């Protein structure tokens, strides 16, 4: 008997062969092995929908053909396209607001005091997606900490998704993206119209350097940082991967008095005891426990 078809795409009339359980399982295993992203079985429809453009662009007749081609000869280039298509790049400007309030009022002021002697501040944003998060931070710094304009401020923003990084580097955003959290007064201050889109001003773009980096690969070029933003990415990983990443940040990235900010649904609890949580009102962040 043939493998049982999954998803309801045929019923929806999509011009695609429906993925079999085995094909969907192959894709889930590949994405997990390469990027640690856990897609549960209920996400088969998502696999098919997201891979349809990849199938088209690579000349495969269908997603099933694309999967067959990967199964028969696992080419890294094709695999990367598949992984990229299956990342969720959901983001917005000043996302969740509270972390940015905390940065402005509680996190950055003491860090800046502590770094005044060498006037250097280094930030790593480890899942930057299309750039809204590191650019929001850059705008916040420019708006509220004018002193830093003469400092060496480095914001290194990384992500596994090449497509997301391409947009981040372009600084181009559509109306809907702008509507998601960008303050009206900042639109006139920091964006220029570019056709139907908005282009972020170079004075903000130049504050952020974007790089491709897989959080479960080598962390080449991740700087020792005063501040690490790793928000809304560990939700996709299993507990062992989260523990590994949090440990690596504590030992290799975060300075002893540095600050780690996670997403609202993320925590170090039950994963590692290398951090202390600091809570101020509605926002919490993490610091390394003092040695000894
Ligand atoms: C939901 S977005 C979060 C973006 C931003 N941090 C925010 O909170 O708005 C998750 C991002 O994590 C990235 N990602 C997923 N797995 C990754 C991995 N293994 N290494 C690096 N980035 C990854 C995705 O490409 C995506 O852009």
110-138: per-residue pLDDT in tens?
A: 999 999 999 999 999 999 999 999 999 99
Per residue in 57-70, pLDDT (tens digit) is 999 999 999 999 99
Residue 196 has a pLDDT of: 96
Quote the distance between the C-alpha of residue 272 and its chain's center. 22
From 50, 87, 165, the mutation candidate for ligand 1 (largest count of ligand atoms within 8 A of CB) is 87
Residue 281 has a pLDDT of: 87
What's the token pair of residue 151? 């400092």
Domain 98-288 has CATH 3.40.50.300: no
What's the token pair of residue 279? 């809570």
Q: Is the C-beta atom of 23 inside 6 A of ligand 1?
A: no
Instruction: Give the Cα separation of 205 and 142 in Å (integer).
Output: 12
Closest protein CA for atom 9 of ligand 1: 91
pTM given for the model: 0.94
- State which ligand 1 atom lies nearest to the alpha carbon of 91: 9
pLDDT at 149 over 50: yes
Closest protein CA for atom 23 of ligand 1: 160
Q: Where are the domains of the chain?
A: 9-85, 98-288
Residue 3 has a pLDDT of: 42
From 160, 164, 210, 241, the mutation candidate for ligand 1 (largest count of ligand atoms within 8 A of CB) is 160
Residue 292 has a pLDDT of: 56
Q: How far is CA 84 from CA 93, 212, 216, in A?
A: 22, 11, 14
* The 208-212 sheet, strands edge to edge: 208-212, 152-159, 120-125, 225-230, 254-262, 283-288, 275-280
- Cα 225 to averaged position of ligand 1 atoms, centre (Å): 19
Residue 10 has a pLDDT of: 39
Q: Is the C-beta atom of 214 inside 6 A of ligand 1?
A: yes
Q: How far is CA 138 from CA 36, 201, 215, 223, 224, in A?
A: 29, 11, 23, 17, 18
Percent of the chain residues past pLDDT 70, beyond the cut? 93
- State which ligand 1 atom lies nearest to the alpha carbon of 216: 19
Instruction: Give the Cα separation of 287 and 274 in Å (integer).
Output: 8
Q: Is the C-beta atom of 157 inside 6 A of ligand 1?
A: no
Q: Which of 232, 243, 251, 74 is nearest to 164 (CA)?
A: 232
Looking at per-residue confidence, does 103 or 6 come out higher?
Answer: 103
Q: Is the C-beta atom of 266 inside 6 A of ligand 1?
A: no
Find out whether 32 and 38 touch, Cβ atoms under 8 Å: yes
Instruction: Give the Cα separation of 151 and 174 in Å (integer).
Output: 32
DSSP state of 20: B
Q: Is the C-beta atom of 216 inside 6 A of ligand 1?
A: yes
Kindly state the average pLDDT of the residues 239-258: 98
The two domains 9-85 and 98-288 share their CATH topology (first three levels equal)? no
Kindly state the average pLDDT of the residues 203-230: 98
Per residue in 163-197, pLDDT (tens digit) is 999 999 999 999 999 999 999 999 999 999 999 99
pLDDT at 107 over 70: yes
pLDDT at 271 over 70: yes
Residue 258: burial class (beta carbons within 10 Å; 0-12, 13-18, 19+): buried
pLDDT band of 5, cuts 50, 70, 90: very low
Looking at CATH, the fold of the domain delimited by 9-85 is given as: Chemotaxis Receptor Methyltransferase Cher; domain 1 (1.10.155)
pLDDT at 4 over 50: no
Pairing of strands 197-200, 172-173: antiparallel
pLDDT at 97 over 90: yes
pLDDT band of 291, cuts 50, 70, 90: low
Q: What phi, psi does 119 have (nearest 5°)?
A: 45, 45
Kindly state the average pLDDT of the residues 158-164: 98
Q: Is the C-beta atom of 241 inside 6 A of ligand 1?
A: no
Per residue in 14-52, pLDDT (tens digit) is 444 489 999 999 999 999 999 999 999 988 889 999 999
Q: Is the C-beta atom of 170 inside 6 A of ligand 1?
A: no
DSSP state of 40: -
Find out whether 258 and 228 touch, Cβ atoms under 8 Å: yes
For all residues of the chain together, what is the average pLDDT? Answer: 93
Percent of the chain residues past pLDDT 90, beyond the cut? 89
Q: Is the C-beta atom of 232 inside 6 A of ligand 1?
A: yes
Q: Is residue 181 within a helix (H) or strand (E), and if so which, with residue range? A: none
Q: How many CA atoms lie within 13 A of 203 on its CB side?
A: 11
Residue 42 has a pLDDT of: 86
């Amino acid at each position: 008997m043939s493998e049982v078809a999954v998803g309801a795409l045929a019923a929806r009339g999509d011009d695609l062969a429906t993925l079999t359980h085995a094909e969907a399982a192959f894709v889930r295993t590949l994405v997990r092995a390469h990027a640690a992203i856990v897609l549960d079985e209920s996400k088969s429809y998502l696999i098919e929908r997201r891979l349809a453009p990849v199938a088209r662009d690579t000349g495969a007749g269908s997603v099933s053909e694309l999967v067959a081609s990967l199964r028969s000869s696992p080419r890294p280039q094709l695999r990367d396209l598949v992984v990229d298509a299956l990342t969720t790049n959901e983001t917005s400007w000043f996302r969740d607001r509270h972390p940015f309030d905390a940065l402005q009022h509680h996190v950055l002021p003491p860090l800046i005091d502590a770094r005044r002697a060498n006037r250097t501040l280094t930030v790593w944003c480890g899942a930057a997606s299309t750039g809204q998060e590191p650019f929001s931070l850059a705008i916040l710094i420019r708006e509220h900490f004018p002193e830093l304009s003469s400092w060496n401020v480095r914001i290194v923003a990384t992500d596994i998704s090449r497509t997301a990084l391409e947009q981040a580097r372009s600084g181009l955003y559509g109306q809907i993206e702008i509507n998601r959290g960008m303050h009206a007064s900042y639109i006139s201050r920091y964006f220029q119209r570019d056709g139907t889109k908005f282009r972020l001003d170079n004075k903000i773009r130049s504050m952020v350097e974007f790089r491709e980096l897989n959080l479960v690969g080598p962390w080449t070029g991740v700087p020792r940082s005063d501040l690490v933003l790793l928000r809304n990415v560990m939700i996709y990983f299993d507990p062992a991967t989260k523990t590994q990443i949090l440990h690596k940040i504590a030992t290799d990235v975060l300075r002893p008095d540095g600050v780690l900010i996670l997403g609202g649904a993320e925590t170090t609890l039950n994963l590692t005891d290398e951090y202390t949580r600091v809570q101020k009102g509605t926002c919490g962040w993490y610091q390394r426990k003092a040695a000894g």
